[in-house]
């Protein structure tokens, strides 16, 4: 088995899926309120297994990087179809960004064909109850919707792209403390990569899942092969001495972006003591067409 800094790297691959994706640029009067809007918008958006979308903060934007010269954030959102993506984004912007003090919301996917765009302001404008105003700048249409602290400004449409979701790494370590530190280092390194998000809490997953369950109607259940307390009860995949496992799931706008995030995360994690093995989850290559081999990350 290949090693990196003395850590075993399993010769396997992460199996990822094609998903519809978009980018939102959210600005506000202060970085505090832009980040607040991001936090609320991305809540309960970890996995499409049980959420309407997968969403996360791509990065914080400086005023000279935003359309209106204010502090902002870039958010990425993923769903299984363009229609599902449009519904999720409209609902979340309406509930979480329109409601947030001082915010505005802009399209972050440029040069997108009309047939691949989803609605934003074209749906939210009705909240203006007839007082909304359309503004066209060049070929771009905006909506000004009156709200109690002034106006909410947003793009009429959002561009979409076919992204890659479900890239992943599993970090197996001696104990919870050491494994958590290594996985946190991996997540921190991954956040330096553009065009990706880590949709789970703090970027980490403690409750990794497998497909199916003994209970009828449940799509996924605990990944028992990596649960330390079940080592003697199931066919375990845990290496000798491992007592904790954390997973990182990566969604990105391209295969290359997801692969690069996995690469920098792997190289950051293996420098930490207590990490014994890094592996990845897949379904034998039968479900997702994107295979991210760990040997290519070395």
Secondary structure, 3-state, the chain? CCEECCEEECCCEEEEEEEEEEEEEEECCCHHHHHHHHHHHCCCCCCCCCCCCEEEEEEEECHHHCCCCCCEEEEEEEECCHHHHHHHHHHHHHHHHCCCCCCEEEECCCCCCHHHCEECHHHHHHHHCCCCEEEEECCEEEEEEEECCEEEEEECEECCEEEEEEEEEEEEECCHHHHHHHHHHHHHHHCCCCCEECCCHHHCECCCEEECCCCCCCCEEECHHHCHHHCCCCCCCCCCCCCEEEEEEEEECCHHHHHHHHHHHHHHHCCCCCEEEEECCCCCCCCCCEEEEHHHHC
State the pLDDT at residue 120. Answer: 98
Mean pLDDT of 142-153: 98
**If you search the block for the tokens 């009429």, which residue do you land on?**
156
State the pLDDT at residue 140. Answer: 94
State the pLDDT at residue 93. Answer: 98
Indicate if the pLDDT at residue 155 is higher than 90.
yes
pLDDT grade for 169, boundaries at 50, 70 and 90 = very high
Q: What is d(CA 110, CA 32) in angstroms, rounded to the nearest whole number? A: 26
State the pLDDT at residue 283. Answer: 86
The fold adopted by the segment(s) 20-161 is: Alpha-Beta Plaits (3.30.70)
Q: What is d(CA 189, CA 137) in angstroms, rounded to the nearest whole number? A: 38
Q: Residue 139: phi, psi to the nearest 5?
A: -105, 15
Mean pLDDT of 167-189: 98
98-107 tens-digit pLDDT: 999 999 999 9
**135 or 287: whose pLDDT is higher?**
135
pLDDT grade for 47, boundaries at 50, 70 and 90 = very high
Q: Helices 176-190 and 255-269 meet at what angle, rounded to 10?
A: 140
How is domain 3-15+163-297 classified at the architecture level of CATH? 2-Layer Sandwich (3.30)
State the pLDDT at residue 179. Answer: 98
Residues of the chain with CATH 3.30.70.520: 3-15+163-297, 20-161
Mean pLDDT of 220-225: 96
pLDDT grade for 79, boundaries at 50, 70 and 90 = very high
State the pLDDT at residue 285. Answer: 86
Residue 72's DSSP bridge partners are 27, 61
Indicate if the pLDDT at residue 238 is higher than 90.
yes
Indicate if the pLDDT at residue 149 is higher than 90.
yes
CA-closest candidate to residue 259, choices 293, 228, 283: 293
**287 or 140: whose pLDDT is higher?**
140
2-31 tens-digit pLDDT: 999 999 999 999 999 999 999 999 999 999
Indicate if the pLDDT at residue 133 is higher than 90.
yes
271-296 tens-digit pLDDT: 999 999 999 999 888 889 999 999 99
Mean pLDDT of 78-87: 98
Q: How far is CA 117 from CA 108, 143, 192, in A?
A: 12, 16, 28
pTM of the shown model: 0.96
239-250 exposure pattern, b = at least 16 Cβ within 10 A, e = fewer: beebbbbbbbbb
State the pLDDT at residue 265. Answer: 98
Cβ-Cβ contacts under 8 Å for 270 (sequence gap 6 or more): 4, 5, 6, 7, 182, 278
């Amino acid at each position: 088995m290949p090693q990196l800094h003395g850590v075993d790297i399993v010769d396997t691959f992460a199996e990822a899926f094609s998903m519809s994706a978009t980018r939102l640029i959210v600005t506000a009067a202060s970085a505090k309120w832009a980040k607040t809007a991001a936090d609320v918008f991305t809540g309960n958006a970890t996995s499409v297994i049980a959420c309407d979308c997968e969403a996360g903060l791509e990065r914080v934007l400086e005023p000279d990087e935003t359309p209106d010269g204010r502090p902002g954030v870039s958010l990425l959102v993923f769903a299984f179809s363009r229609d599902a993506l449009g519904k999720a984004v409209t609902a979340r912007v309406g509930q979480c960004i329109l409601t947030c003090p001082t915010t505005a919301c802009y399209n972050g996917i440029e040069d997108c064909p009309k047939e691949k765009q989803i609605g934003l302001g074209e749906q939210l404008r009705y909240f203006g109850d007839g007082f909304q105003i359309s503004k066209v700048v060049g070929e771009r249409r905006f909506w000004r919707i009156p709200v109690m602290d002034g106006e909410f400004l947003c793009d009429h449409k959002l561009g979409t792209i076919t992204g890659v979701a479900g890239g992943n790494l599993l970090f197996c370590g001696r104990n919870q403390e050491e494994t958590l530190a290594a996985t946190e280092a991996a997540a921190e390194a991954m956040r330096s990569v553009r065009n990706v998000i880590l949709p789970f809490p703090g970027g980490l997953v403690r409750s990794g899942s497998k497909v199916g369950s003994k209970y009828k109607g449940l799509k996924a259940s605990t990944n028992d092969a990596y649960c330390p307390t079940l080592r003697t009860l199931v066919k375990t995949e845990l290496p000798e001495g491992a007592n904790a496992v954390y997973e990182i799931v990566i969604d990105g706008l391209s295969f290359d972006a997801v692969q690069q995030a996995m690469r920098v995360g792997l190289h950051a994690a293996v420098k930490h003591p207590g990490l014994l093995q890094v592996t990845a989850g897949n379904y034998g290559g039968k479900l997702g067409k994107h295979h991210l081999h760990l040997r290519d990350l070395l």
